[in-house]
Amino acid sequence: MRIRGLRAAVGALAVLAAMTACSSDPEPTASSPAPVTTPSDTASISASPAPSEDPNLFTSTVAYVKGSSVKVYDKPYGEVVMTLKAKDVLTVPDKTPLVLLAKTVQKDGIEVYLPVRPNGTTGWVEPRDVQLYATDYQLDVFIKDHELVLSKGGEELGRYPIGTGRDELPTPGGVYFIRELLAPPNPKGAYGPYAYGLSGYSPVLDNFKGGDAVIGIHGTNDPSSIGKDVSHGCIRLSNDAITELVETWQLPLGTPVYIHD
């Protein structure tokens, strides 16, 4: 039976303080966080071994942490390597669920991508500590082509021109996921009406304007920058495009984002 995609509203629309590697403009001030919406059109799935031939080739598994933190292990039944806390990786941890993208699902453990440095870090969490959902949405970012492609179940839904990082401040390639959705207080400002915070970081900046150099996908008040290498590493979309992703497609937290060099 095919697992339905996760079509819920995508967490808190909140403060933009986390989007630190995106613009040379001053950071916007905080906006009021909107309430979190509980997933309403989802399929809950149990932790079980993935079949050798997965009929849902384009379905990804998203792990919602049941609390505000989760212990991460080096392997199933292994040693604890860290405790991942919502307050350390989310802008508004009391309004946004802590969500991780699963890489491997087994009965004895879930291997997840972690929103920590270095980019691509994975670890294992216990099945009892998370609730698993499925999504068949994904974003593919093609840096050289300055293009973002949205697909669902392997079917292309939209193709959007983007701005990317400069040569000296590149947009990093790799596997990431949407960790949070933010709404700037000024929708006509440097970040546009919405910004997705991703699980990755700038490969060359340790911090930016007092915060960690998080990579994001957001709108812009400079449409002429689309199609060019202009940012500090973030991915810029037109305001119409980012609004379509958020309001029309309602991409869920945990949606995988594949950035191709």
Give the catalytic positions in this structure.
Answer: 218, 234
Task: Check residue 104 and report its DSSP letter.
Answer: E
Q: What single-letter amino acid sits at 121?
A: T
Q: Tokens standing for 128?
A: 């009892």
Spatial distance between the Cα atoms of 38 and 21, rounded to a whole number of angstroms: 29
CA distance to 36, 109, 142, 149, 237, per residue, from 11 (Å): 5, 25, 26, 22, 20
Q: How many CA atoms lie within 13 A of 71 on its CB side?
A: 13
- The alpha-helical segments, DSSP class H, found in 44-181 are 86-89
Spatial distance between the Cα atoms of 213 and 207, rounded to a whole number of angstroms: 5
First-to-last CA distance in the chain? 35
Q: Are 102 and 63 in contact (CB under 8 A)?
A: yes
Task: Check residue 115 and report its DSSP letter.
Answer: S
Spatial distance between the Cα atoms of 152 and 188, rounded to a whole number of angstroms: 29
Q: Are 185 and 18 in contact (CB under 8 A)?
A: no
The CA angle 176-56-70, to the nearest 5 degrees, is: 45
User: Does residue 118 have a cis peptide bond before it, meaning omega lies within 30 degrees of 0?
Assistant: yes
